[in-house]
Each structure stands twice: as C-alpha cells, then as structure tokens.
Structure 1
Amino acid sequence: MLSKFVLLTTALQAGLATAIGNAIVSNRCSYDIWLWSVDQGYSSGPIHIPARTKYSEPFRSACNGCGSSLKISKTDQLVGGQHTQFEYSIADGSIWYDISFVDCAKGENASNCPGHDKGLVMDSPEQACGKANCAAGSYCPTQSYYVDFPQQKLGLDDPVFGCPGKGTSMDLYMKVCSDEGPLKRSIAGRMTLDDYA
C-alpha cells in the first residue's frame, strides 16, 4: 500500500513539475485587435480578438531561453511600425517577459502602438511575479522596450520582468487598454468581473 502511495505521489509531483501555464491576451479596448503568435519555429496566422474579449494559448518554448512574441495589431495585416509586442521566454524553468514598442515607437512617442493610448500591462496572479505597466499615453522606458538595447542607447536596465523560481504553471496576462475596466464573465448565468482579464 505504501509503495502505491509513493508511486502516486511521485507521479503527481512529476506532473506538477511539468505543468504549463497560459499566455492570455485580454483585449479591454473598445476596438478589435489581431494577434500573431511567433517564435523561432512557429508563426500563426492572424487571430481575431474582438473588443472586450480574451485569447489564451499554452506557453511554448522552442529552446531554453528562446523567446516567443505575441504581436498585436489593429488590423488583420501585420504592418511594420504599427504593432505592439508581448514577449516571453522560459529559461531554466522560469518565465521572463516584457512589453516591446521597438517596432512601433518613434523616439519617446508610442502612439502607433496598439493599446498604448489606454495603457498596457503584463502580469500574473502569482504574487512573486513582476508587473510591467505602461500607463496610457506615457513614456515608460523602465516598463517597456522603446529601443532594442536600452542599456547602450538610453542608459537604462532592460525592462524585463519575471517569476524566478516559480516554474511555468502560472498564467501570464497581457492586457491591451489596461486602463479600461476588467472583462466580465458569466458564472451560472450571473455576470461578474474577471479581476485579471
């Protein structure tokens, strides 16, 4: 009996060790957005996320430390200079993430970046995770990338946040138009606020 318990406990621990969370894009905007999910070996077509809805996909990693990018556009075309990127990587079992305006900002101006006019946030319900938060219309180089090498070009640390030592089982929320109210969801026919979406 004890051997069955030990075997079951070991199997559960192995399952927990390999549990994988989700990258969730919450479109709080009053307008629709489109997403392209990209990494070194994969690129989705445009994924439509209507206003006031969310999209979720499991984390993935092409290799240890390789990045994945969720590119956000206001149209079903991915046009250079007009998309915001939510980026994450899994390195040594921990999640690291950032918001990038590198492809849409012009100097300190990120008005071409979808969601920037109403704020962007990247965070997790996991308390140990950091929070990237760029307030509506602000210049926020400590919270998001405006240039590819901020240490060299701006004299600032890379705006990378993470959940060191917490594994990959938590969800990571990417909120577009984060200053707008949380999304609503229906539970047993009643509408409630989803604090994280």
Structure 2
Amino acid sequence: MGNAVFANRCERDIWIWSVDETTGSSAPIKVAGRSRYTEPFRVPGAGGVVFKVSNSDQIVGGAHTQFEYAISNDQLYYDLSFVDCAKGESASDCPGHAKGLAMYSPNDACGKLDCAPGTYCPKQAYYVDTPLSKLGIEEPVFGCGSAGTGMDLYMVICSENPQVLKRSIAGRLAVEF
C-alpha cells in the first residue's frame, strides 16, 4: 500500500492530528513550514482516516480543515472538508484556504482536488455535511478507480506556493511535493 503525504507549502508551521475510529487520535504533529509528514495508508475497522489541520497545537472548534481518505475493496477515495470551519460560502476560517488546498496522486487514474485560494469550491470540498440535499450538488469525493492503493496520496496546504524541491548530494532531484 501507498502513503498519505501531508505537504505543508506554507512558510509557517501547522499542526495535524491523524484520526480514525479504531485507534483514535494521534497527538498533535507539528509540520514545519515548507516540509512534509508521511505515514503509511491504514484501513481502520470502520470509516476512514481524517487529518485535522490547525494553525496551532490545539484543535479549536470551528477553526480546522479536514483532509480525509478511505480504502474500500482495494479502492482509494478522498475528500476535503470545511464542514467544521465554513460559514455559508466562506471558508476563510479554515486553515490553508487563503493559500489554496489540493489532494492528488501522481497516478493518472486518480482525480485531482484543487480548491483555489480564497474561492468558494463546493465541487472540490464539503461545505455542508450533505451537499446533495442542502446544495443540490454531488458529494465532492475523488478516487482512483480500480488503480488500487499502491500509490501515494498528497494532501497539500498552501498549494498556490511553488513545490518544495530538495536535491540530493549528487544534485539529482530527490523530493517534490
């Protein structure tokens, strides 16, 4: 199986919590500005995995963004949620929204989620818990079809910033996110 890769392209530090119904929540994980955090995919007994994102080492009600993924029948599904921080069509209280958020895999079979900086993007992210009944649009869930789970999934905060490039000692490109 692949990995969940949380890429912080922001200049400032952020904190994430990796949460699922089986193991509960991790302690806060500091992801320094212009760095990333990686963990292997996991398949909890029920539901999926949520990365709660905060601008501080506390989860403050109404001020966190959620990157979510689930694996079912060897298929990867993922989404972005502003349900806990959006107010109507505004996600300005959601960490990362002002600088853009994205989720994607290098595998071409996967869809790409891209919520442009400061925009209302209900087809890219959840603003309400049931968009079909409340907004009249399909749920913004992306996936990789039958491509399996052998690829990495990138969750990017401050996606408008350029990719972070790190070079190996020999000068070859080693990491991009």
TM-score by length of 2: 0.96
Q: Deviations over 1:15-74 (max 9, x none)?
A: xxxxx100000000111100000000221000000000000000111137x211001100
Contact 1:121 / 1:178 at 8 angstroms: preserved in 2?
yes
Aligned residues: 176
**Hey, what does 1:51 align to over in structure 2?**
33
Equivalents in 2 of 1:123, 1:68: separation in Å?
A: 16
Contact 1:28 / 1:176 at 8 angstroms: preserved in 2?
yes
Task: Tell me which amino acid in the other structure corresponds to 1:39.
Answer: D
Task: State the identity %.
Answer: 53
From 67, 74, 78, give the equivalent of 1:97: 78
Equivalents in 2 of 1:162, 1:59: separation in Å?
A: 14
From 4, 11, 14, give the equivalent of 1:33: 14
Contact 1:81 / 1:104 at 8 angstroms: preserved in 2?
yes
**Hey, what does 2:4 align to over in structure 1?**
23
Q: Deviations over 1:154-174 (max 9, x none)?
A: 000000000011111100000
Equivalents in 1 of 2:106, 2:16: separation in Å?
A: 23
Contact 1:184 / 1:191 at 8 angstroms: preserved in 2?
no
Equivalents in 2 of 1:118, 1:191: separation in Å?
A: 29
**Hey, what does 1:122 align to over in structure 2?**
103
Equivalents in 2 of 1:184, 1:47: separation in Å?
A: 22
Tell me how far 1:185 sits from its aligned partner: 1.1
**Hey, what does 1:12 align to over in structure 2?**
none
**Hey, what does 1:87 align to over in structure 2?**
68
Q: Which has the larger radius of gyration?
A: 1
From 37, 42, 48, give the equivalent of 1:60: 42
Contact 1:95 / 1:162 at 8 angstroms: preserved in 2?
yes
From 108, 132, 136, give the equivalent of 2:89: 108
Tell me how far 1:79 sits from its aligned partner: 0.8
Runs of 4+ in 1 over 2 A off after TM superposition: 189-195
Equivalents in 1 of 2:61, 2:49: separation in Å?
A: 18
Could you say what secondary structure the match of 1:31 adopts? coil
Equivalents in 2 of 1:119, 1:147: separation in Å?
A: 19
Tell me how far 1:117 sits from its aligned partner: 0.4
Q: Deviations over 1:98-154 (max 9, x none)?
A: 000001110101011111001000000000000111000000000000000000100
Q: Which runs of 5+ in 2 are unaligned?
A: none
Tell me how far 1:193 sits from its aligned partner: 8.0
Contact 2:123 / 2:140 at 8 angstroms: preserved in 1?
yes
**Hey, what does 1:165 align to over in structure 2?**
146
Q: Which runs of 5+ in 1 are unaligned?
A: 1-19
Tell me how far 1:187 sits from its aligned partner: 1.1
Equivalents in 2 of 1:21, 1:193: separation in Å?
A: 18
